[in-house]
Homo-oligomer: A and B are copies of this chain.
Amino acid sequence: MPFGGCDGPLSSARWGCAPRVRVAIRTTTDSEKGSMGRPRIKDVAQYAGVSAKTVSNVLNDYEHVSERTRTAVREAIDTLGYRVNIAGRQLRRGRTGMIALAVPDLDVAYFAELARHVMAETERRGSTTLLVETGGRREKELAALHGFDAQFTDGVILSPLALEPADLADRDTRLPLVLLGECNLPGSADHVAIDNVTAAREATGHLLARGRRRIAVIGGDLRGSRNTSRLRTVGHQEALAAAGVALRQELVLPVPAFRWADGAAAARTLMRLPERPDAMLCLNDHLALGAVRALHEDGWSVPGDLDVTGFDDIEATRYSIPTITTVAPDKRGIARRAVELLLDRIDADGPGGPAVDETAGHRLIVRESSGG
């Protein structure tokens, strides 16, 4: 049943979603232990003069319930202020109706936006999303992978940062899992991501087309464990190669995290090089915003002196000064597909088919920071 919704399509049609609240009137003389005196299905049954199972049938829109009974039960529910106890239902059904979404960091707007889409999609499909932050720490990602040491959720959508291939190899495959973003973990679980190599190639291509030749990559890294960095750096280098532009190793600069401060620090480092860059391909928007700010403080003009581009198309890039050229992933599509894949696996209730690898769309949005 939908969390935050009502109990079943019929009842939700009948009552709407704003519950009328009346303090429950316990008519039974049962002891008041248990759930703080909340009425149980049995109380409703007694009040309505039917069996508990009939109440259950009404709740679950079982078809063979007479209109009279249905009405009586609903009145009882309404009067007593009854709500189903999820624990009981879940125990019986073996499903929680909840999935977990584990992302590294909600402060990173991309993940907040993605989370909204995932929550909207799961709600639409009658499930509930439990949002968890991993901080990009491996231990937390592992916990997510395994359902958090408790059978809390029916499945997990995980956007990993620190996870290693071996971690996925010996995971408990009974828990449905969908991975988001970049993983070098083929075949082990369903996976949804944009084509990062192509996206980075396009962004670099755009900068090259504007005549930039010394393009730095903030967040770039070919050897690190962060796959986003690797794939996007590869795309960058492919574009350089295709244009016959030499790669300068010193312009590819890894960062500890993908946040404003890291972008600002990286930009300053790069501008101290003997041969300064004339563009900065930042691997996410926060890095780009941080870089732009640092450049501004040091008296450089964007896009006058340098071009800057980002990734993710967070809302801030449309209002910053200058606005930021960025690669916009189809967040809605990613969320929708991820939820779809996960719920399908859950419904399949078994190993299901082989792992699916899906590519979501993206597009380059040129804005002021690279002359748009």
| Residue ranges of A at the interface with B (Cβ–Cβ < 8 Å) | 1, 3-7, 16-19, 21-24, 34-38, 81, 83-88, 90-91, 94, 96, 106-107, 109, 112-113, 115-116, 119, 128, 130-133, 138-140, 142-144, 146-152, 170-174, 259-260, 264, 289-290, 292-293, 296, 315-316, 318-321, 349-350
Q: Are A289's CB and B319's CB within 8 A?
A: yes
Q: Are A86's CB and B292's CB within 8 A?
A: no
- CB contact between A21 and one of B4, B17, B171 (< 8 Å): that residue: B171
Q: Are A151's CB and B289's CB within 8 A?
A: no
- CB contact between A87 and one of B5, B21, B90 (< 8 Å): that residue: B90
Question: Which chain B residues border A150 with CB–CB below 8 Å?
Answer: 1, 3, 7, 83-86
- In angstroms, Cα B293 to Cα A150, docked, is 47
Q: Are A17's CB and B315's CB within 8 A?
A: no
Most buried by B among A3, A22, A94: A3
- In angstroms, Cα B81 to Cα A316, docked, is 45
Q: Are B143's CB and A4's CB within 8 A?
A: yes
- Across the A-B interface, give the 8 residue pairs with the lowest CB-CB distance, nearest first: A87-B90, A87-B91, A131-B131, A293-B319, A260-B319, A106-B112, A321-B321, A4-B148
In the complex, the count of this chain's copies comes to: 2
- In angstroms, Cα B289 to Cα A318, docked, is 11
A-B contact pairs, 12 of them (CB 8 A): A23-B172, A24-B172, A38-B151, A87-B91, A106-B106, A106-B116, A128-B152, A260-B319, A289-B316, A289-B320, A316-B316, A320-B320
Q: Are A149's CB and B316's CB within 8 A?
A: no
Question: Which chain B residues border A149 with CB–CB below 8 Å?
Answer: 3-7, 17, 19, 83-84
Nearest chain B residue, comparing its CB with the CB of A12: B149
Question: Which chain B residues border A316 with CB–CB below 8 Å?
Answer: 260, 289, 316
Question: With A107-B112, A146-B21 in contact, is A36–B260 under 8 Å at CB?
Answer: no
Question: Which chain B residues border A4 with CB–CB below 8 Å?
Answer: 132, 140, 143-144, 148-149
Q: Are B315's CB and A107's CB within 8 A?
A: yes
- In angstroms, Cα B316 to Cα A293, docked, is 10
Question: With A131-B131, A319-B264 in contact, is A21–B140 under 8 Å at CB?
Answer: no
Question: Which chain B residues border A1 with CB–CB below 8 Å?
Answer: 150
Q: Are B94's CB and A36's CB within 8 A?
A: yes
- In angstroms, Cα B152 to Cα A119, docked, is 17
Nearest chain B residue, comparing its CB with the CB of A120: B133
- CB contact between A148 and one of B3, B113, B144 (< 8 Å): that residue: B3
Nearest chain B residue, comparing its CB with the CB of A291: B319
Q: Are A151's CB and B260's CB within 8 A?
A: no
Question: Which chain B residues border A264 with CB–CB below 8 Å?
Answer: 319
Question: With A146-B19, A147-B83 in contact, is A115–B109 under 8 Å at CB?
Answer: no
- CB contact between A315 and one of B139, B260, B319 (< 8 Å): that residue: B260
Nearest chain B residue, comparing its CB with the CB of A22: B170
Question: With A85-B151, A290-B319 in contact, is A116–B91 under 8 Å at CB?
Answer: no
> How many Å from the CB of A331 to the closest CB on chain B?
11
Question: With A86-B152, A147-B83 in contact, is A321–B349 under 8 Å at CB?
Answer: no
Question: Which chain B residues border A94 with CB–CB below 8 Å?
Answer: 34-36
New A-B contacts (10) at CB < 8 Å, excluding given A128-B152, A316-B316: A4-B149, A19-B142, A21-B172, A35-B94, A36-B349, A85-B150, A106-B112, A107-B113, A289-B320, A293-B321
